[in-house]
Each structure stands twice: as C-alpha cells, then as structure tokens.
A and B are shown apart, each in its own frame.
Chain A
Amino acid sequence: MSRSDLSLRIISRTLAILSAAIVLLILGFLVRESAPALQELGLARFFTDPGWHPLSGQFSLVPMIVATLATSLGSVAIAAPLGIASAVFAHFYAPRTLAIWHRRLIELLAGIPSVVFGLWGLVVLAPLVARLGGSGQNLFTATAVLGLMILPTVALLSDAAIASLPRAWIQGAAALGMQRWSIVGKVVIPGARRGIGAGVLLALTRALGETMAVLMLAGNVVQVPNSLLSPGRTLNANIALELGYASTFHRSVLFVSGLMLMLVVSVIVVGISYRRGASDEWR
C-alpha cells in the first residue's frame, strides 16, 4: 500500500468515526438530561397520562408524536410528487433555457431560511386558511408550508439522479419507438429510483427536524388531531416553546420529548434502509 493511500485511509477513518461519534454524543447528552424525569416517572407515563401539563403533573407525549408524524409525512406527500415532477419536467419537457431557470429558482427556494417561510405562512397563508374557520394556524397550514420547504430537496436530488442515468438507456428506449411519457415512466423513474428515494428520505428527516416554521403555524395545542384543520404541537415545537421558561424537572421532561423525536427519526430511517436492503437482495 502506498504512503498516500495509508494517510488517506487514516484521515477518512478518523473523520468517519468523528461524525458518528457526534450523533452518539448528542444521544448521550439527551439521555443524561432526561434521566431525572425518566427515573421519577418511568417511560410508560409519557404514553398513558391524560394530557400534557408539565406543571400540573401530566406528561403525555402521544398527541405530539401523532402531530409530528402527521405534519412530516403530509409534507412529504406534497413535496415528493411535485419534486419528482419538477425534475422530470426539467429533463424531458422544458426547453433548455427554461430548464436552467427552473433549476435556479428551485435552488433559490432551498436557500430561503425557515423563519421566513414561517413568517410568510403566519401573515399570508394563515389568514387565508382562517376563512375556513378558526385561526388558520393548524396542521394543514404547517404541512403545506413544510411541503414547500422540503420540495427543493426532493427536486434537486431527483434531478441529479435522473442526470446520472446512462444516456444509452434513454436513447435506446427512444430508438425502440417508446413515447416520451413511457420512457419517463418505464425507464427513467425506475432507473433513478434509489437516488429519488434518498431525496425523499432526506426531505422526510428535514421535515421531522423543522422547528421554527411549524411552531409559528401549527397552533401548538396539545391534542390528538382529529382533522387536518385542527391545531397540533410537534415534539420539536414543544421544546422550543417551553424550554426557555422551564425549571429543573420541567426541563428534564422536555429533553424526554427530544429523545422521543430522535427515537421516531431512527425508527423511520432504520425501517426504510432495512426495506431498501431487502429489496436490493430481491433484485
């Protein structure tokens, strides 16, 4: 093995261990901070208590887990079709100049800070939704804005995945006389499946982690939502809302909600990569 190879191996291993260790460190910190609450209450009470009133001894996290899943999965349901369609449009339907401008606009959308999205939702979108009744701050408004925020992730990664397909596939399909639509549906999207999947997964984790915009738009009432127009509070919004004013035990309970969020994210990520591994073996 050459010297440069050896040093590269050492550097890459160190950096890989470091980035993995950061996740473990954060997890360890969360466990340490939430330990007082977990020891005193046990894990079960976070699921069985009647509500969330940390100053009155009620600590149910269930409504917040439901709201977190509803907003993030809902936003992916909005962003995935739009994002994939945008990538397909840029590659197969748009004239060259339009495709370039379209990509630039999507990249610009990715650069807008989340507070700006939140503020826009709060002063523009929420008053419009309020005409349907209520305050306009509910899961629907939060999900819609969240969908816009994660759209660039899906669009740009799908775009890159489609661009990396061998040209011969597409030319071959065209030579066989396939129409543009069936080339997209039968060759391009199945071929770019993994790249598009990675984009959707990344978008989902970003949606799960988004705090500010959701806090400003979701209404934040702790209740199991019964419709899209009912308010809800996500686990991250819960931390952001209460941490600044929380004293010792309340603070510890809030870290439990951070731990819970991390659990939800890891279950989803592990579940998806497990399924992906299984389907690869199938192939």
Chain B
Amino acid sequence: MKSIHAWLIAPILALAVPGCARNSAEPIVAADEETLSGKLTLTGSSTVAPLVTEIAKRFEQRHPGVRIDVQTGGSGKGIADTRTGVAEIGMASRSLKPDEADLTAHPIAADGVGVIVHQANPIKQLSESQLITIYTDQIRNWSELGGEDQEITVVHKAEGRATLEIFLNHLGIENPVVKADVIVGDNEHGVKTVAGSEGSIGYVSIGTAEANIEAGVPIRLLPLGGVEASTARVASGEFPMSRPLNLVTTGSPPRLAIEFIRFCQSPDVEDLVKANYFVPAARGPDVAE
C-alpha cells in the first residue's frame, strides 16, 4: 500500500511544484511549512468527510510531519466531539444552531440540490407545494400543472443519501410518504434517468446537473422559489435548497487546526471541492483568515 502511494503522489507533486512557484506569497508559506507537525483529528458529517479526507491527503503531502485522522458519525457527533476536545475540528453539513453559539463555523463549501426535468418538458417552474403533491403522488399528470398530457415519473434517491435529506428537509416531508416510480443511486444515475424519459422529474446536486447540461444532456434545472438553480446562486447563498458544509472549532483552535482550515478554504483545493460536486464557499471574514 505504502509503495503504491508513493508512485501516485510523485507525479502529482511534480505537477504541483511549478504551479506554486508562480505564487509570490509562496516563500512565506514555505517557511511556515517547515514548522508544521503533529496530529489532527476530525469527526462528524459523512457528507463532508469524503471531501475533507481528500483535502487532508493533499495537506499531508505538503506537510510531511502532519497526520490527519478523519472519522465520520454525523454532524451531531462532530459538534459534540469538538466541545469535549476529542476532535480538534468537527464537520457539520448544516449551519450552527443558536445553542451552539459557543463554537465557530468555518464554511469550506456549499451543497445545492436542484430539481431537474427533461429538456422537452415545457414546465417553467414549480412551487414547493407542487413538488410535495408530485412526490406524494397526489398529482400524476403534467397536464394538472399546466404541462402536456403526460404521466409524471417521480425519480427519487435511495435512503440515506445526502441530497435526499436536503430535499425532504426543505419540503418538510418524511421519506415513507414519498411514492417514487424510480429510485436511483448517485447523481449521474439520476441525470441519465431523467434524460431518458420525457415525463420524469428528479433532484440532483446542482454541480452535477450543470456539468451534464454543459455536456449537452437533455435536462433542465428548474428555478425554486423564483431563484435560478445554479452553482453561482448556491455560492451566493440565495438558492433556498442548499446547505453549508462547515468545519467547526471552539473559539481558540490550535495553530495546526487554523492552518488546516485555511488550507481547506484556499483556492488550492477548489478542484477537490468541485470534483466532489460541491460549490466552493464564498470567501468572507473568518477566524482563520
């Protein structure tokens, strides 16, 4: 395993180094890198964990003295562990609640869920109550919503998926009341299903949908609550069906934790954020800046 790792890492480093050299701030950061070492533990949301794991690998490559341990267990566990000090950083796929004001949230990305239909579907937009009636099977034909006389094929996700949770939470319905015609696994499966059947409606991560639309797949993102569904609107915080992906710390995190959070928010990891179909967070004032 170790040797495979080295083979994989070597070309990545070779590519990364010349790129960094152009950055004028690099020498200062490089001086910092020498001194960074130690161990960092992160626990929490299983939505955030895959992204943070990838970022942590890159961080460890740049700082050989640092070991980062990423564990999942849900946003709640991340917050509890941060409070008790079990973890230096918690991961939460939601905003902090009022009773969690003792902690600080550092947004690293945002996750938006958009409703998609086939390109040939003339429907311009759907309200939230219309979405609920469609997903609970009270409306079965597009003609009832002003569309063509065509059966509605409801495309839903498998239980436990993060997009499903955002979608159901936003509409305020429970999973057992949903009457689906197709249940899909990942976002790509959802996109292909909607593209293959003109009467279908589904919901996927907005990043995935945009990439597919650019590639010419015949689907359309519907606006929600009058807001266009786009990664730009998710990044600006206007799009309603989205949530921030946060790293959570106490008021005084250790220096290594600050460095790692800064790295997570830096443009150096934007490719990883996008590869995980998330939206890079809008940059703002932060304790780690």
Contact = CB atoms under 8 A, between A and B. Distances in A.
B182 A55 contact: no
A127 B184 contact: no
B219 to A, nearest CB: 13
Contacts of B180: 221
Contacts of B240: none
A126 interface: yes
Interface in B218-276: none
Interface in A204-257: 215-216, 219-222, 231, 233, 240-242, 244-247, 250
A221 B182 CA distance: 6
A51 B200 CA distance: 24
A64 to B, nearest CB: 12
A133 B151 contact: yes
Contact of A219 (B151, B160, B174, B183): B183
B191 to A, nearest CB: 11
Contacts of B159: 53-55, 242, 245, 250
Interface stretch (A95-103, A134-142, A151-159, A192-200): A134-142
Interface in B170-216: 174-176, 180-185, 189, 192-193, 196-198, 200
A233 B183 contact: yes
Contacts of A53: 159, 175-176
A130 interface: yes
Interface string A102-137: 000000000000000000001100110010011111
29 contacts: A51-B176, A54-B160, A55-B159, A123-B192, A126-B193, A127-B196, A127-B197, A130-B196, A130-B198, A135-B182, A135-B196, A215-B185, A219-B182, A219-B183, A220-B158, A220-B183, A220-B184, A220-B185, A221-B180, A222-B183, A231-B181, A233-B183, A241-B158, A242-B158, A242-B159, A245-B158, A245-B162, A247-B73, A247-B74
Given A56-B175, A250-B159, 14 more contacts: A55-B160, A122-B193, A130-B196, A135-B182, A135-B193, A137-B193, A220-B158, A220-B182, A221-B180, A221-B182, A241-B183, A245-B160, A246-B160, A247-B46
